[in-house]
A and B are shown apart, each in its own frame.
Chain A
Amino acid sequence: MFLRYVFLFGLIFVTIACGAKDPTAPNAIVPATAEQNPNIPQVTINIAGHDRAIHVETFGNPANPAIFVLHGGPGSDFRHLKSLSPLSDNYYLVMWDQRGSGLSERITRDEISFQYWRDEFYAMKNLYSPSNPVGIIGQSWGGIYAVMIATETPADVNKLILLEPGYLSSHINEQAEEITYAIHETWLQEMLWNAEFLSASDHEQLDYKWMINFDDAVSDYFYCNKNHAPLPTWRFGVYVSYVASRELLTDFDFTTKITDYTNKVLILGAECSNLGFDFQMKFHVPLFTTVDIFEVANAGHFFMANSTAATFAIDKIRTYLLE
């Protein structure tokens, strides 16, 4: 009798095993990345000795002035920033998911550094605007990234637009109200019931787990209302986010050469955000030589996902770009 049950259980087990997929297979639990899915618009760049597939989209006429759009995170994607595309009537917009982020190829620890982000920016510039300076629109982490580029090579950046930029030095972070992404923490990952079956032992499961939790994890910091619409996103690159937040963004300062950038800067800060208008007024506005700042009312950190706020922002950006 006992052996009969053992045999039956074994048969069921083998049957299931034969039909089960590997969670790392493309599109199994999260959308595939560019090197796995040829349908994704992409280019390949070589950074830190590695060829990496970058998910990229362009909007507008390449003959127009180029504006590069840098998304947040690190680790996020540009999906909610596609609402900037109306600017493509007069500008050539280039949006990409940074290495290890969104739908771009995942990377290893030795490919994550500020220097390699610089290299990535210039690799993209060589492809899309090799001869002329570009404008940059940077959101959140993308704002930090944009300031890093603009202050080190001011001649390459003719316009600098910062949408809720993250803190520009770890010193500012220490003074400001802390934002903690506890979802990165091992104990929290293990404590969740989904740890019973999601081990976060590879990029796919790790990204999937983050996407379960992301909206709730940041609701208190970045939204007016906890019952907000979910953020339009494809996939979050948790590994690059983890390394950056733990090892790189804890000790850095991009304010030391900020006065080297003498062009006017545009900052937009939201009403409902820890990195919003009040934060920007207090910590970032005093740093720049010339700056315009506007508050985006009734919106949070990801205000470009809100159509009313996006319309307001695009209007301000157009005015700034024409100056």
Chain B
Amino acid sequence: MRSHFLFLFSFLFIVTTQANAQVFYGNLTPGKHSLAMHNSVFLAGLNYNRRLPIKLIQRDLNLQAEISTPIFLLKDFDSWNIELSAGVLFKNDQVWNTGIYLAQSLATADNILGTHFSTSSSITLQPGYYRNNWFLAADLRLQITEFTYIKFSQRHHDFYADIANTQAPDSALLSMPNTRLLLGFIYGRTNKTKTWSFMTSGGLLSTNQAQSISIFPEVGLMPFYFSVDISRHF
């Protein structure tokens, strides 16, 4: 019976950098007026992981909090972002395996026009080759943002000034379904004591750019997504 209640507590420190450097460099360095901006987004997070007591299929409950730094010098873009997520990983103990991760997240971010809160659901499939201390798998993720709440700022209110009989909303709860697909590969490794782990993933990210008004009909996926996670387990 005791084997049915195997618990694993771990706290992970995650640092993720998205490799946007070369893209930013090429596009935001016009003539002498280069924008000396930081060209990566850094995430730091805490991850709490607990193995659920199921005999045949490994089910890990994963609670995660992440905070991203602002894009410096472009203060109005996104000044900060915090994301809380909870998900469950299903995976059995075979070498050829498929990890399935279901997650629900709440993200909040702040910019010059307001403070946003949004809820998202995601499903991640990671079919691949899993050994004791490493794995290599495809990384397929579908994320759907369901609702967004915006508390508008004074700057946003200013846009509505001078328009007769028109009031700026103080806040809004919006249905903004935003679907993103990520296709890539993921490689992970832990040391023998399973104290440290390293994981890297990269691939294509779908875009949602104005497809309904045909701005970017040619753009569906872009080579964009890349991350490195270094974790310390306690």
Interface residues of A (CB under 8 A from B): 9, 13, 16-17, 19-23, 27-32, 37, 39-41, 79, 82, 103, 106, 108-109, 177-180, 182, 185-203, 205-206, 208, 211-213, 215-217, 220-221, 230, 232-235, 239, 242-243, 274
Contact = CB atoms under 8 A, between A and B. Distances in A.
A158 B33 CA distance: 37
Contact of A230 (B155, B176, B222): B155
Kindly name the residue among B18, B77, B81, B167 whose own CB sees the greatest number of chain A CB atoms within 10 A: B77
A234 B169 contact: no
B163 A31 contact: yes
Interface stretch (B4-12, B130-138, B191-199, B211-219): B211-219
Nearest to B74: A216
Nearest to A16: B147
A180 B27 contact: yes
Interface of B: 18, 20, 23-24, 27-28, 30-33, 35, 41, 68, 71, 74-78, 81, 83, 104, 107, 109, 111-113, 116, 118-120, 145-148, 150, 155, 158-160, 162-169, 172-180, 205, 207-216, 219, 222, 224
Contacts of A19: 173
A199 B166 contact: no
Given A197-B107, A197-B178, A39 B164 contact: yes
A193 B175 CA distance: 18
Contact of B208 (A177, A201, A212): A201
Contact of A212 (B30, B68, B112): B112
A103 B113 contact: no
B74 A21 contact: no
Contact of B78 (A192, A206, A215): A192
A197 B78 contact: no
Contact of B222 (A187, A199, A205, A234): A187
Nearest to B155: A230
A190 B176 contact: no
Nearest to A17: B175
A194 B111 CA distance: 9
A14 to B, nearest CB: 11
Contacts of B212: 201-202
Contact of A199 (B147, B162, B178): B178
B159 to A, nearest CB: 6
Contacts of A185: 27
Contact of A197 (B145, B160, B211, B213): B145
Kindly name the residue among B176, B177, B214, B219 whose own CB sees the greatest number of chain A CB atoms within 10 A: B176
Contact of B77 (A109, A212, A221): A212
A197 B20 contact: no
